[in-house]
Amino acid sequence: MALLGGLLLFVVGALAPGLALARLLVPDGDWTSQMVLGTALGVFALPFLHFSLAVLLGTNFNAALILGVAAPFLMAGGLVEWKSRQGGN
In a domain, 39, yes or no: no
In a domain, 68, yes or no: yes
- At 26 the pLDDT is 87
pTM for the structure as a whole: 0.74
In a domain, 53, yes or no: yes
In a domain, 32, yes or no: no
In a domain, 83, yes or no: no
Range of the domain at 57: 48-77
Domain count, the chain: 1
In a domain, 33, yes or no: no
Q: Is the pLDDT of residue 1 over 80?
A: no
In a domain, 55, yes or no: yes
Span 41-66, pLDDT tens digits: 888 888 888 888 888 988 888 888 88
CB atoms within 10 A of CB 81: 14
In a domain, 67, yes or no: yes
